Amino acid sequence: MPPACPALGLPFGVLVGFPPGRIRFNHFPPTGPYLQTRRSGYTVRREAATHLDISVIIPAYNEEKRLGSTLERILSYMAEAGHDCEVIVVDDGSSDGTAAVAESFSGRGVRTLRTPVNRGKGHAVRCGMLGTGKSLVLFSDADLSTPIEELEKLAAPVLAGRAQIAFGSRAVAGSVIEVSQPFYRVAMGKTFNALVRAIALRGYHDTQCGFKLFTRAAAREVFGRQRLTGFGFDVEILAIARRLGFRTAEVPVRWINSADSRVHVVRDSIPMFLDLFRVRWNGLLGRYR
């Protein structure tokens, strides 16, 4: 019997040179092994790289058009880096051919978990994060707005023992926005992050970048307590991590806006705002212990 996703009780099946900046740990210089690749172009010696035992979780909802190229890029990068990698695509009730695309990679270290209905990004990420035995677990958006090559930057503080959770940030010194969002999305993002600090979680500049790395132990403790299923889950998992005493690092990354964002400006704004109060309330009630 294949392993079950603890969040669903359903079985898994194969269905289918960055610029120096400050990492907010709170602040230590980026150290550790960085890897030169054809895509990144950064000048670092290959022999300095550390091979990772890692799982990459990709939540996917109606991602038929871009999932194939995303998987190709991730697998190519991991092979070039020499990392021991598995990829888990969590098909969150898609109505298109997302599952079929993922299935075409089943012989190349890609597993797929399918949920019968769309439950939300937070639910999809939770299923994947709790369903792997790898030493490190990264979740990444399907559009690779943060390029997979940025993994080395997140891995550095974790491998150095300075953090158990490292997450990409577009709002700390050293981050590079190669293609920006439209002005109204930028304004909404800044407003949301200000509300995050005011209501639910102080000390971070960007909680919503979809590129976060966890040790296996941290992932199990944090996602085992997660309650939110929508886009507000990023705030919740960082709040849980803080309450449990895990060390975190907010790491500057490259970021390239994807015009086909799954976050709807109007439809998703109110639920995300309300999620901040849910995180605050759940914390006060001791639900994250």
Contact 166, 212 (CB under 8 A): yes
- Give 251-260 pLDDT, tens digit per residue: 999 999 876 7
Supply the pLDDT for residue 29.
Answer: 38
**Higher model confidence: residue 131 or residue 184?**
131
The band of 268, judged by pLDDT with boundaries at 50, 70 and 90, is confident
Residue 181 has pLDDT above 90, yes or no: no
Supply the pLDDT for residue 207.
Answer: 94
Residue 199 has pLDDT above 70, yes or no: yes
Mean of all residue pLDDT scores within the chain: 84
**pTM above 0.85?**
no
Structural domains in the chain, CATH included, are 4-284 (3.90.550.10)
Task: Name the nearest CA neighbour of 154 among 222, 250, 40, 58.
Answer: 250
Mean pLDDT of 66-71: 97
Mean pLDDT of 27-39: 38
The 10 Å Cβ neighbour count of residue 197 is 15
The band of 188, judged by pLDDT with boundaries at 50, 70 and 90, is confident
DSSP string, 143-157: T-SS-GGGHHHHHHH
Query: Which of 29-38, 160-169, 193-202 has the lowest average pLDDT?
Result: 29-38
**Higher model confidence: residue 31 or residue 246?**
246
DSSP string, 75-133: HHHHHHHT-EEEEEEEEES-SSSHHHHHHTTGGGTEEEEEESS---HHHHHHHHHTS--
Alpha carbon 79 to chain centroid, angstroms: 20
Residue 184 has pLDDT above 50, yes or no: yes
Tokens of 27: 């602040």
Contact 199, 283 (CB under 8 A): no
The 10 Å Cβ neighbour count of residue 31 is 12
Supply the pLDDT for residue 206.
Answer: 93
**Higher model confidence: residue 26 or residue 289?**
289
Mean pLDDT of 169-185: 85
Tokens of 79: 């092979």
Residue 223 has pLDDT above 80, yes or no: yes
Task: Work out the percent of the chain whose per-residue pLDDT is above 90.
Answer: 69
Residue 280 has pLDDT above 60, yes or no: yes
Residue 95 has pLDDT above 90, yes or no: yes
Can you give the C-alpha Rg of the chain in angstroms? 18
Mean pLDDT of 107-123: 94
Rounded to an integer, what distance in angstroms lies between the CA atom of residue 151 and that of residue 158?
A: 11
To 5 degrees, how large is the angle CA 158–CA 234–CA 13? 80
Supply the pLDDT for residue 261.
Answer: 64
Residue 229 has pLDDT above 80, yes or no: yes
How do beta strands 165-169 and 84-92 pair?
unpaired
Contact 15, 114 (CB under 8 A): yes
Supply the pLDDT for residue 174.
Answer: 93
Supply the pLDDT for residue 259.
Answer: 67
Mean pLDDT of 16-21: 35
Give the amino acid at 226. Q
Supply the pLDDT for residue 263.
Answer: 66
Task: Name the nearest CA neighbour of 120 among 229, 225, 226.
Answer: 229
Alpha carbon 278 to chain centroid, angstroms: 21
Location of structure tokens 């309300």: 274
Contact 85, 56 (CB under 8 A): yes
Mean pLDDT of 23-31: 42
- Give 138-170 pLDDT, tens digit per residue: 999 999 999 999 999 999 999 999 999 999 999
The 10 Å Cβ neighbour count of residue 68 is 15
Task: Name the nearest CA neighbour of 54 among 166, 165, 145, 138.
Answer: 138
